[in-house]
């Protein structure tokens, strides 16, 4: 589905979800494949046409690998096919940035999606000291780093737009969580998401869905007035 429309203009689309924890049993997201199916069905109903699943990878745990992730992707696709549902989907990962990534990049054992995008996140406590180095080395290998939910990092608050502009100048892309717009992660993320939307600094919006409950909240948001209010916030 496309949204954030005003006077027939589309500001950005939500047809490709690039951040989710729907592949079952790999991280703190969905545990049972039956629930993965419920969530995928609901997202299809909401108009999602493509999925790039991104289970967590973090040192020391969970240290998922591209092989483990792709095996799980095949399993979910097969399970859905048995129910008559064919989805367009690939899988990367959401990397919590750390020094451990340097070896993975060097050895080309990075899980990327959509032709070379790599989703990366900071810890919520403090920015990763390895962030600059990881971004540099990913780009050197031809990957495009996508920063997950910058609106959620308390240490970006107050200089969020400035930091995001700098990252975009350096070739990174920016992904914002849709549930940030309804305050699901608190006020810092709510204000940050609105600030980035208003400044047109968002490249991708996604659900970051971990559970059936969250996809229900996402549905509620996409069908609510708040989604419309957001469109009025975006300055042409």
* Residue ranges that bind Fe ion, judged by CB under 5 A: 94, 208
Cβ contact 6:236 at 8 Å: yes
Min CB(148)–Fe ion separation in Å: 6
Min CB(22)–Fe ion separation in Å: 11
Q: Between residues 221 and 234, which has the closer beta carbon with respect to Fe ion?
A: 221
CB neighbourhood size of 83 (10 A)? 9
Min CB(19)–Fe ion separation in Å: 6
Q: Between residues 151 and 208, which has the closer beta carbon with respect to Fe ion?
A: 208
Three-class DSSP category at 174: strand
Task: State the residue for tokens 């997950």.
Answer: 148
Measured distance CA(20)–CA(30) in Å, rounded: 10
Min CB(13)–Fe ion separation in Å: 20
Q: Between residues 77 and 122, which has the closer beta carbon with respect to Fe ion?
A: 122
Q: Between residues 188 and 234, which has the closer beta carbon with respect to Fe ion?
A: 188
CB neighbourhood size of 125 (10 A)? 8
User: For residue 29, which phi and psi values (nearest 5 degrees)?
Assistant: -90, -140
Cβ contact 212:39 at 8 Å: yes
């Amino acid at each position: 589905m496309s949204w954030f429309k005003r006077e027939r203009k589309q500001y950005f689309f939500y047809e490709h979800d690039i951040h989710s924890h729907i592949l079952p049993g790999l991280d703190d997201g969905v545990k049972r494949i039956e629930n993965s199916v419920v969530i995928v069905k609901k997202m299809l109903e909401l108009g999602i046409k493509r999925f790039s699943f991104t289970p967590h990878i973090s040192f020391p745990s969970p240290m998922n690998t591209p092989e483990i992730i792709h095996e799980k992707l095949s399993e979910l696709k097969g399970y859905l096919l048995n129910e008559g549902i064919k989805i367009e989907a690939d899988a990367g990962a959401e990397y919590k940035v750390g020094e451990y990534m340097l070896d993975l990049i060097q050895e080309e054992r990075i899980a990327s999606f959509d032709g070379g995008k790599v989703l990366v996140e900071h810890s919520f406590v403090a920015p990763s000291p390895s962030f600059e180095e990881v971004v540099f080395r990913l780009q050197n290998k031809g990957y495009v780093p996508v920063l997950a939910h910058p609106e959620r990092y308390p240490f970006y608050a107050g200089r969020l737009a400035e930091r995001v502009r700098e990252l975009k100048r350096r070739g990174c892309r920016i992904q914002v969580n849709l549930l940030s717009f309804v305050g699901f992660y608190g006020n810092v993320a709510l204000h940050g998401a609105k600030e980035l939307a208003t400044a047109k600094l968002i490249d991708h919006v996604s659900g970051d869905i971990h559970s059936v409950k969250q996809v229900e909240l996402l549905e509620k948001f996409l069908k609510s007035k708040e989604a419309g209010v957001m469109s009025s916030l975006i300055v042409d």
